Structure 1
Amino acid sequence: MGDLTHSSPLPQPLTPAGRDGLAAILARPERAVIALDFDGTLAPIVPDPEQARAHPDAVPALAALAPKVRSVAVVTGRPAGVAVRYGGLAGVPGLERLVVLGHYGAERWDAVSGTVQAAEPHPGVAAVRAELPGFLDAIGAWRGTWIEEKGRAVAVHTRRARDPQAAFDALRGPLAELAARHGLIVEPGRLVLELRPPGVDKGVALVDYVREVGAESVLYAGDDLGDLPAFAAVDKLRSGGDVRGLLVCSGSAEVTELSDRADLVVPGPPGVVTLLSTLATQLP
């Protein structure tokens, strides 16, 4: 779809379930949760994850929308505090009730307290962290790869490799074996393989949060494979009949799995920001 402008009407979802979800948000916004991934959704993908920052219009859009809905939540694989910092989300008028669910829900930051609550880290992460540099060197995969320390997870990026996709494909099996030895799993993403604890994902985090706040509708926007559990969770909520949902894909040529399952596809973070801004203007 083409670029949206803030004065444009809301785009219409392509699916009946998506149109029903959007209608529910518009009808009773005080019962709606707006949940969003960070990287690739609120922030453009960049070669160095430490340089990622929210789209310049993202915070104003969220601040305009948040007071009109039950809650706005950022659901990310990053540490919660990092997402808050890179997003510029702390101390923003209008975002006094913002919640950030980091590490797939293992961490939680809320604007009310300004603090992060978290469970104890999985011991396998420390073991993998120590072993990973030598492991990559031993299999000849160190050149062009880059290790990202994520606190409760460790990620290996291949975006800087000579052939990023070939490096990604070659590493997927060996890293899965390394993760399994330490009780972890591998979560694939956009030219990144994340080694993290099992049993937590964006779907679990999203369902728990929707139930906690008593939402009747939810919009979830994401861009990567790690967002598939959240998409599945919204589908499950919708099938139960008590929660309506709208699935939004922040479009990318690198990942098609989400766009195939989305109710609505927008052109990357700029499209997400415009959707949020337009939605804010449509709500009382």
Structure 2
Amino acid sequence: MSNYLNPVRKLATTDRLLVALDFDGTLSPLVDEPMQARMFPATRAAVNALIDAPETIVALVSGRSLVDLRVIAEHDDASQILLAGSHGAEYWYPDTGLVSHEDHADDARLRDELRAHAEAATAEVDGVWVEPKTFGFGLHTRLVDPAVAPEVQRRVDQLVAAQAPHWRRRTGHNITEYAFRHEGKDTAIAELREHVGATAVLFAGDDVTDEDALKTMGEGDLGIRVGTPPTAATVCVADIAELSTLLTVLSTERSAARQ
């Protein structure tokens, strides 16, 4: 606890705090069946304690499509948790519901065509999953034979490069994402910060795509990496359990500081 206690205590005194959290690998372990991901009970308890803390807003920031994020987060219309899905291209707010940035019919048509072509190009490979996403698709190779995975990746990379060279490509834990929108988690943090009027932000993540947001943490903010360096985060925690402890400490310190 010694490596994060002082930064957490300092953060707890801010006037209006946004706690923004990645989901997969940060609040939930990475699993073979991505739609089966769920928070650990201790993690959910820590998140709920922050929701109840004074002048504290909790948000989930994910590369998942918003519809899938709501499923795995067990999020319903009564929730006070804000959501940023598709790396900040779509949002859910308690006061307005779904807010999605406009896209064009041509983009959606190309998305569907490329996803179908990617599925056809990898159909004979065991373990491949081409995940539909609102603004593109994801290629999952977690269950693919490691000797075969590079060839699967090459096929889909080549397909997208030929038909949609302007798309954004991101890599993560056994996934490559392709999207016709270029927002990143840095975009999501900026929009959420403005929306809630936060005077400070905590952001925690575990993957390469989270570094976009971690690099934007300013003075008074706190970036947390679940895992080991290299990272732009100020604090590293070993795993989800340690992050849950940190969040619990923050909720306790926050409630005490605001009394």
Shorter-chain TM-score: what band?
A: 0.7 to 0.9
Call closer, same or farther: CA 1:200–1:110 in 2, change over 3 Å: same
Amino acid at match of 1:190: H
1:161 match:
144
Q: Give the superposition deviation at 1:161.
A: 0.9
Q: Give the superposition deviation at 1:217.
A: 1.5
Call closer, same or farther: CA 1:267–1:54 in 2, change over 3 Å: same
Size of the aligned set, in residue pairs, is: 252
Task: Give TM-score, length-normalised by structure 1.
Answer: 0.77
Q: Give the superposition deviation at 1:137.
A: 4.9
Task: Work out whether 1:181 is the aligned partner of 2:163.
Answer: yes
1:37 match:
22
1:5 match:
none
- Which stretch of structure 1 is more off in the superposition, 39-48 or 179-188? 179-188
Amino acid at match of 1:247: G
Aligned to 2:216, the other structure's residue is in SS state helix
Task: Work out whether 1:271 is the aligned partner of 2:242.
Answer: yes
Q: Give the superposition deviation at 1:66.
A: 1.9
Deviations 1:1-56 (A, max 9, x none): xxxxxxxxx5424xxxx95x53442222x422111001111111001211111222
Task: Give TM-score, length-normalised by structure 2.
Answer: 0.84
Say if 1:179 and 1:185, in contact at 8 Å, map to a contact too: no
2:64 aligned to which of 73, 78, 85: 78
Aligned to 1:82, the other structure's residue is in SS state helix
Gaps of 5+ in 2: none
Amino acid at match of 1:53: R
2:153 match:
171
- Which stretch of structure 1 is more off in the superposition, 34-43 or 60-69? 60-69
1:192 match:
175
Aligned to 2:243, the other structure's residue is in SS state helix
1:107 match:
90
**What percentage of aligned pairs have identical amino acids?**
27
Give the Cα–Cα distance (whole angstroms) in 2 for the partners of residues 230 and 135 of structure 1: 29
Say if 2:168 and 2:182, in contact at 8 Å, map to a contact too: no
Call closer, same or farther: CA 1:143–1:124 in 2, change over 3 Å: farther
1:147 match:
130
Give the Cα–Cα distance (whole angstroms) in 2 for the partners of residues 210 and 180 of structure 1: 37
Say if 1:136 and 1:142, in contact at 8 Å, map to a contact too: no
2:233 match:
262
Aligned to 1:270, the other structure's residue is in SS state helix
Call closer, same or farther: CA 1:112–1:229 in 2, change over 3 Å: same
Q: Give the superposition deviation at 1:275.
A: 1.4
After the TM superposition, which residues 8-157 of structure 1 pair with which residues of structure 2 at under 5 Å, given as runs? 10-13=1-4, 22-28=8-14, 30-68=15-53, 69-90=55-76, 96=80, 98-113=81-96, 115-121=97-103, 123-135=106-118, 137-138=120-121, 142-157=125-140
Q: CA RMSD in A?
A: 2.8
Give the Cα–Cα distance (whole angstroms) in 2 for the partners of residues 54 and 148 of structure 1: 21
1:281 match:
252
